[in-house]
Every structure is written in C-alpha cells, then in structure tokens.
Amino acid sequence: MATGQLFSRTTQALFYNYKQLPIQRMLDFDFLCGRETPSVAGIINPGSEGFQKLFFGLEEIAIPVHSTIEAACAAHPTADVFINFASFRSAAASSMAALKQPTMRVVAIIAEGVPESDTKQLIAYARANNKVVIGPATVGGIQAGAFKIGDTAGTIDNIIHCKLYRPGSVGFVSKSGGMSNELYNTVARVTDGIYEGIAIGGDVFPGSTLSDHVLRFNNIPQVKMMVVLGELGGRDEYSLVEALKQGKVTKPVVAWVSGTCARLFKSEVQFGHAGAKSGGELESAQGKNQALREVGAVVPTSYEALETAIKETFEKLVEEGKISPVKEVTPPQIPEDLNTAIKSGKVRAPTHIISTISDDRGEEPCYAGVPMSSIVEQGLGVGDVISLLWFKRSLPRYCTKFIEICIMLCADHGPCVSGAHNSIVTARAGKDLVSSLVSGLLTIGPRFGGAIDDAARYFKDAYDRGLTPYEFVEGMKKKGIRVPGIGHRIKRGDNRDKRVELLQRFARSNFPSVKYMEYAVQVETYTLSKANNLVMNVDGAIGSLFLDLLAGSGMFTKQEIDEIVEIGYLNGLFVLARSIGLIGHTFDQKRLKQPLYRHPWEDVLYTK
C-alpha cells in the first residue's frame, strides 16, 4: 500500500469500458482546476480501436481508444491510474490484468457485487506489489485541484460549491460514495476544504481500508486533519483504532460511524452496502464510535454534531498556527454543452436535417403520423406504407393496390436485361449483395426502366395542351425525341406486353378516371400505324396510369402532381420493384456457386 500522496496535477488515467459522462466530468474538472493536460490519457474498450471525441474546456479533443489493457499501457506509459467501469462479472479479471502492468499504480473498481473470492485475490496481489485498490463498489476519489476519478463529487456545480477546484487542508475517507458528497459539502462549509477524499467502497472486503488512507494522509504535509466516516458491520474501523493507539497517527482525526439506529430494530438489519450489517457488539456503530473515542479520535454524540466537531477541530488548528488561510481563487466557467443549453432555453441552434415523413422519437416509429402498430393492426400493406412515406397521406385502397401491382409486375424481367445482367456478373465476381444490387440499379435510366417519369411528363403536357396524337408524336419527332413509354425490343402490336394489359384492365375497373391512359392508348394507335414495334411498354402504362391515380383520387393539387413527376417518384417505383429481382438474381448466382463470368470472344466484333 502506498504511504503518501496518490494523485497530482499531472496524474493521468486509463478508463476501462467507455462511459461518456464520467469521462467528460473528469475532463471538465481538469479544466476547472487549470490542468494543462487531460487526466484521461486513453480509453480501453475491448474489441474497439480508434478515437473518442470529448471536450477539454472549449477545445474538442480526440482520446485514443485501445482494444486491450496491454496495448493501452504500452501506448501511455505515464498513465498510472486504472479506472474500471466494467460490470461485476468482468471487473475482477480486468482489474487483475491492470494490476499486473508495471506502469499501473492505482486501480479503482466501480462495480458492486464483485465476488468476494476475486476481491481477496486482488487485495493480496496489490499488497504484495505495493499497489493500491480503491473499491469495489466505490465512486472513486479526488484530490482537490488536481485529479478525480469518474463521477466522484458529482456535478460541476457541486464541485464548485464544495471548493474542490483548489486544495484545502482536510483528508477525508469514507466507505460510502454518496455520503462522501455530503461530507465534502460539510467540510467546505466549516474548514478551508478537502485536500484528498477517498470512498473505499461498501463491500465486505474493500481493496484498501479506512486506516490505509488515514496513515497515508498522516504522511502528506498538506493534510492537517482527517475526517473519517465509517459504518456498522465489519471490523475495518478497529484497524484505525489500533493505529491511533500505537501513535501511528499524529494529526487530529474526527470520526463518526453511521448506523446507530440499528439498535432500534428487533432483528438484524442489512443496510445499503454489502458490508453494512452488524454482526455483534464489536461491529455495531456504538461499539466502534466508543472504541475510536477511547483512543483519542474526536467522535461527536451524533451525526448531526459531526459538522460542529469538524469545525471546532479545524479552528483549533488555525489558532495554533498549524493551518494558514487558503487563498481563494475564482474557477473558470465551464462551457455548457449545446444540448444542455438548448434544453434549458439559453440558446437556439439550427437543425441540420428536415424530415416530414417519419418520426422515431416516441415509443414507436410513425410513418407520416401513423404509428407502426396501427399500420400492422389495420392489416395495411406495402402500398399503404409507400403512400405514407412517399406521398405523406393514406391513399384509397385501389391506389395502394395499384402500387403493389406495379411492384409485382416490375420486380423482374429475366436475366438478359441490362440490370439483371450487371448484378449477375457482379455476384459471380464474388462481390457482396449491396455491390451486386447497386451495379444493377446503376443501369436504370432513359434506356432501361427509367422512362416512367418522362412518359408521364410528356403525356401530361400533351393532353393538358390538347394536342392530338398526331401533333404530339410528330412534334416529338421534329425535336429529335423518342416518345417515352412507346416502343419495345420484343413486343409487337400483335403480341402486346401482358403487364400493360393487366395494368390497364385494373385501372378501367377501379380508377374513377383514366383520361391520361386513354390518351396514351390513342398515341399508341398512331405509332403502331408507323411501325409494329412502337407498342406501349410498361413504362408508358405506369406513367400514364399514375397520372390518372394522382388526378382521379382528388387528393393532390395540380402543383403537387407536377412536383411528383418532376422529382422522380415514378422512376422510384421501378427502382423499388426491380431491386427485388436484382437481389433475387444475386442470391441465385451465389446459391448456384457460379464462377467468375467472362464474356465469350465469339460474341465480340473485333475491328479496327
């Protein structure tokens, strides 16, 4: 066990099992104390490497993240404190690994419930190698104006209130972390403040004892008096009694053992900590307080009188000239985090993204204001979800059914079309699903599946302007533009595309109006008079019928319809549908374990 000061203004720690808030509190304390370097040198997160961004005052810093304790210790040889935020299941193993590192001097174990047999092994190893264990079940410790462990002393406001940003003259040790905060406040009210405070933890076998730290404080010149807060249960306080009896402690000790109320209960009572359970008169709070009083400790008659006892002891030391007044300093203002300032109404900040289609902030995600559970409970389908996420409204059932039919009919068109071919070649090259899918999607455009928007745009413009099919087609010809939605490589006037017929049949039976579709049919009649392959294709059918869906439903304004066509909603329908087929082709090739594709040279015209 160390015999003197544990921490200083240059102490640095390694933090095990990343927790943003306690690390940020440590860094804020550093800034408050005027430290030049952050007290957290590195973070250990098993299985992760990289950096974590945190704030050191106004400056944003990147703290290295290491995957192993050994790597972190090698990278930061001056860090000699290990702050262990692992769970009780792994705290012992990671703490032992840290103790075995030659650079580590102090290990703080935050977790409660560490198996007692494991704790005993840690204690034995630490004592044999002159190292210090604080905990388990501890909040940690603090050296005022220099260094603190994790959440010790709570919020920055509490730290400032307790004057922990600069050193005082009092050494404090307690079993309880929560009561430590209370005593820091008490000590600050009636003395010049804390020099060092330690919470050893409330487990039955703490890594270091009350007397261990009192003896350390006795060797620190800046510590002029000690305050000790024990509790019923166990016999740790008697090691302090023995030290006082043997004269090993030469500075005033003000002590109180909590739990005197236990005698009011008829049966044995387990208090908050694992070790806070009286096992007889010796382990009772009354027995311990009396023993401490008999060997010269200042022990008040009650907890309420503890503050007065501390005050009187301090004032006596001042009168004797053993304590000089501490020069007060004004700590710097800790910059407030943006999120905190926004919540408190102190600042306003612009958002970076606008979303109107979904919201995941409540108990369940909502699509255009409709809860996910409602969608499932009503038996809505994919078409309904698309109507909510794309069009931000619940469309009539015939509309959503039409959307679903379009998806089913456009899901695939065999392995020979460009999109499927690309996905197949990519999958056979050993690439992953996303790469194979994207390679197929990238072929979608004006020549393959991407003409739905253009078909809708041109048919709508021609119909709205009252052009005859002749005027429309010949006008497009003069501009050198092929009529989108007309023409097929395979289908002919006497061999129509079955998908087009299914879509038209559904629309005539369910849509209130099919004026745009009928206009497209008239255009097809004219183009077929010119060539037998200038038949309406699926792009033209979907484009014209979607215009009828939007206009006939009565749920969209003319401006909204124009915007939907302009943005590319209708091509989005083909992209969504064809993704199903492209994924299928990718899976098919991988399932068949097809080798790398090489195009046959016989199928290439080599020419100069």
Sheet of 225-231: strands edge to edge? 147-148, 140-143, 194-199, 170-174, 225-231, 253-258
Distance CA 139, CA 111 (A): 9
To the nearest 10°, the Cα dihedral for 501, 504, 508, 514?
A: -150
Is the CB of residue 8 less than 8 Å from the CB of residue 147?
yes
To the nearest 10°, the Cα dihedral for 81, 83, 88, 90?
A: -70
Distance CA 472, CA 483 (A): 9
Distance CA 165, CA 505 (A): 80
Distance CA 534, CA 531 (A): 6
Closest CA to 546 of 462, 452, 465: 452
Residue for token pair 């049949």: 505
Phi-psi region of 556 (alpha: psi -120 to 50; beta: other; left: phi over 0): beta
What are the C-alpha distances in Å from 549 to residues 5, 456, 480, 568, 597?
79, 12, 30, 16, 43
DSSP per-residue letters across 145-202: TTEE-TTTT-SHHHHHHTTTTS--SEEEEES-HHHHHHHHHHHHHHSS-EEEEEE--S
Residue for token pair 């199903």: 580
Is the CB of residue 85 less than 8 Å from the CB of residue 108?
no
- Assess whether 273 carries a catalytic annotation: yes
Residue type, 56: F
Distance CA 199, CA 174 (A): 5
Please provide the size of the chain in residues: 608
Q: Which of 76, 273, 488, 585 is catalytic?
A: 273
Distance CA 187, CA 179 (A): 12
Is the CB of residue 587 less than 8 Å from the CB of residue 420?
no
Listed in sequence order, the residues at least 6 apart from 357 whose beta carbon sits closer than 8 Å to its beta carbon are 367, 368, 388, 389, 390, 392
Distance CA 257, CA 230 (A): 4
Listed in sequence order, the residues at least 6 apart from 253 whose beta carbon sits closer than 8 Å to its beta carbon are 214, 225, 226, 227, 228, 240, 244, 292, 296, 297, 298
- What residues act catalytically? 273
